[in-house]
Structure 1
């Protein structure tokens, strides 16, 4: 029988690869952020209002493609394995960035943006891979590491994109293509398959490989469904920052690009420290449930601080609180994965990613409109921070929902070796409904 030590190197190498995959993907997407609107502007004849409208349409289409195809990729990975789906996604992204780099017309660029949305849906497969290769009591730390990868990509990606954009508006697309294709080559030679054939789905079912089918799957697990809503609310709340931060800080504190850039870099750095460092230290001591709920509380306090801050100093005090809100995401996701069979992890992660993509579609519009309304002449009161206050309310509701959904969940403890070998649940795991049916 293979010893536990024999499994550690492949598992460590696999997690490192997925971490590098996410970092490179986020770098690739971050690099084009500063120049994409300018490329659209070039293709629309230099008209700013037209460029803004088309940039918004393409951003919404990107989110819509993620919403539709995340369950598809998740189901494909459950049927055929994680490795081919991840590699195909990396290859498609690399070729797509080349397509956008050479695009001369708006329709070609639009098609490229659609392909990006389809291919980037593979984050659901990466998350399922983590669930495959990580022990249950270590998953929160692993998902925290993935959150840190997002932070690293978005700290350095836009800065590198801005630097490259000084040479050419198309240069960042070529570098992004190089990163994605290098990721494909690296994975082709390094990445092992994480889902054994005996644990794969017997068939690919189109009825479940779509957003509505994915939601029906979540409904089979009441606790998972409730925590998925918490995950969605947290993702939606985040868009108050993405959608209004630049305009809000200019309106309230007269910040320019330099102050905004430094502040966003600080946000990314603090988030990376919390998710890569604190999660793995706090979960063994306090348990996943307490850490998840604490993250939601910190998020409420952070957004309220931003919303009511009268000075830039008070506003900056909200950043550490928002960084600590990052404790909630990895722990929520870890709790969710323990309730679902290994052969359904791809569909589970596809459903969760699809919900996050739905936030991408609606979040920017909702929060930008709220900000515009509460600084406009028809507002019942002048409240520039209304978007942040709404985010605090969303997280407060998420806290209540998360508290009720996990009230019977015991703190996560390391799984005894005897239980692991026998396939028994750990003390912190609630049996999934499908598992209960199997035991009958």
Structure 2
């Protein structure tokens, strides 16, 4: 519900910005990029803070905070009449929201580690199905009643999602004990260089994926004209989300069997290859086909990224760890639309798709070469968790995470994804 609400406004946001700021056509891509970038900048700053609070006080509380805060901001956005006021609300939205990372932390904390990819895939399916329904509904509403009504509807839907979490989600949270043994952190899991590489991958994946975000509605408008651009963008975003939602469960289950790193390499490479032909599209039918391909290819990317982190750190570090990687992702989401907007203003609406594809393929290569996670040992996990099944240690050529070196080999259980997910 919350992601459907937040995505109500995505098909027409550049058009709304053009109306608020009375902008020329050459100014729209630049200001669209700025607008898209503001919320991720604040999300980058606040994600580690919210993550630390989640580890100390509970994850459900953070999910509710993101939904109630984000819903209130969406309601306020429906009432603004100037572009500066809208930009201030985008900053506030980034500071208060962060629904996906809060939900990821909650799901990771209650899921068996050998089914983490599947569990995160199910959550990502809900995210993507919301992203399917939201743009479709929002684009249709904008075509029928104008740009303000979808903001009001979005705010109400997101707040109702927060109410549903209050009454339907139950969390058995145990606060950390002061002076307890140091948890298995991201630095212990990946090493200094490996952690830098992982954060770089999170940055580049989101930078690449968001590169064309502010100009995609304008690109569609150039193909179909001004008449029903918002509705068409909504349908395109919807079909992309539906395809990704279908693939994410299948890929999430598969990644538990073949390895999350290997899955991530394949999904980012395939997404990059499908992105480039967007620059050659001449009709809306071709674009629909490519968007289905993008959805199917990208469905497993975020679950695999999050599962790599979830399997490599202790559960009591989930909030802080996901907060840190969300900061890297948010920087990518902030820089991508901003740079993409300026590139579009300089080179037109098609060149950014080529750059997006090249960056995604670069991200795939970075994962393959630099990301080498180690699994948190059994001794570092809370006693309430079921221990993973012991198997023989993999060879150095496998992409299964290595064992943390600070425990003796004979005392460590190596976690390997169970067959069947």
TM-score normalized by structure 1? 0.73
Aligned to 1:5: none
Q: 1:368 to 1:133 in 2, by over 3 A?
A: same
Q: 2:244 aligns with which of 267, 271, 283?
A: 271
Asked whether the equivalents of residues 340 and 432 of structure 1 are also in contact (C-alpha less than 8 Å), the reply is no
Aligned to 1:240: 211
Give the Cα separation in 1 of the matches to 2:84 and 2:344. 32
1:405-435 C-alpha deviation (Å, 9 max, x unpaired): 456889xxxxxxx9x7567877654334677
- Secondary structure of the 1:339 match is coil
Aligned to 2:55: 78
Asked whether the equivalents of residues 117 and 253 of structure 2 are also in contact (C-alpha less than 8 Å), the reply is no
**Residue ranges of structure 2 left out of the alignment (5+ in a row):** 376-382, 394-399, 413-421
Kindly state the Cα deviation for residue 238 of structure 1 after the two structures are TM-superposed: 1.1
Aligned to 1:358: 331
Aligned to 2:117: 140
1:15-42 C-alpha deviation (Å, 9 max, x unpaired): xxxxxxxxx2222222234565666666
Kindly state the Cα deviation for residue 360 of structure 1 after the two structures are TM-superposed: 2.1
Q: 1:234 to 1:189 in 2, by over 3 A?
A: same
**Residue 289 (str. 1) matches residue 261 (str. 2):** yes
Q: 2:302 aligns with which of 329, 332, 337?
A: 329
Query: What does residue range 423-434 of structure 1 map to in structure 2 within 5 Å?
Result: 428-432=400-404
Asked whether the equivalents of residues 128 and 241 of structure 2 are also in contact (C-alpha less than 8 Å), the reply is yes
Give the Cα separation in 2 of the matches to 1:408 and 1:60. 30
Asked whether the equivalents of residues 33 and 341 of structure 2 are also in contact (C-alpha less than 8 Å), the reply is no
Aligned to 1:154: 131
Give the Cα separation in 2 of the matches to 1:307 and 1:47. 25
Give the Cα separation in 2 of the matches to 1:247 and 1:170. 19
Asked whether the equivalents of residues 55 and 175 of structure 2 are also in contact (C-alpha less than 8 Å), the reply is no
Give the Cα separation in 2 of the matches to 1:162 and 1:154. 12
Q: 1:268 to 1:199 in 2, by over 3 A?
A: farther
Q: 1:28 to 1:200 in 2, by over 3 A?
A: farther
Aligned to 1:193: 171
Kindly state the Cα deviation for residue 134 of structure 1 after the two structures are TM-superposed: 1.0
* Greater relative contact order (CA < 8 Å, ≥ 6 in sequence): 2
**Residue ranges of structure 1 left out of the alignment (5+ in a row):** 1-23, 203-213, 376-383, 411-417
Q: 1:279 to 1:102 in 2, by over 3 A?
A: same
**Residue 390 (str. 1) matches residue 339 (str. 2):** no
Q: How many residues align?
A: 387
Asked whether the equivalents of residues 35 and 162 of structure 1 are also in contact (C-alpha less than 8 Å), the reply is yes
Query: What does residue range 164-175 of structure 1 map to in structure 2 within 5 Å?
Result: 164-165=141-142, 166-167=144-145, 169-175=147-153
Give the Cα separation in 2 of the matches to 1:259 and 1:219. 43
Give the Cα separation in 2 of the matches to 1:190 and 1:42. 40
Asked whether the equivalents of residues 43 and 330 of structure 2 are also in contact (C-alpha less than 8 Å), the reply is yes
Give the Cα separation in 1 of the matches to 2:309 and 2:72. 34
Kindly state the Cα deviation for residue 131 of structure 1 after the two structures are TM-superposed: 1.4
Asked whether the equivalents of residues 299 and 392 of structure 1 are also in contact (C-alpha less than 8 Å), the reply is yes
1:163-195 C-alpha deviation (Å, 9 max, x unpaired): 444346443333223222222222222222354
Asked whether the equivalents of residues 132 and 194 of structure 1 are also in contact (C-alpha less than 8 Å), the reply is no
Root-mean-square deviation (CA, aligned residues, Å) is: 3.9
Aligned to 2:40: 63
Kindly state the Cα deviation for residue 66 of structure 1 after the two structures are TM-superposed: 1.0
Asked whether the equivalents of residues 108 and 120 of structure 2 are also in contact (C-alpha less than 8 Å), the reply is no
Give the Cα separation in 2 of the matches to 1:300 and 1:294. 10
Query: What does residue range 289-308 of structure 1 map to in structure 2 within 5 Å?
Result: 289-307=261-279
Structure 1 or 2: more helix by fraction: 1
Q: 1:433 to 1:176 in 2, by over 3 A?
A: farther
Kindly state the Cα deviation for residue 218 of structure 1 after the two structures are TM-superposed: 8.9
Asked whether the equivalents of residues 199 and 342 of structure 1 are also in contact (C-alpha less than 8 Å), the reply is no
Q: 1:348 to 1:435 in 2, by over 3 A?
A: farther
Aligned to 1:226: 197
Query: What does residue range 44-123 of structure 1 map to in structure 2 within 5 Å?
Result: 46=22, 52=28, 56-103=33-80, 108-123=85-100
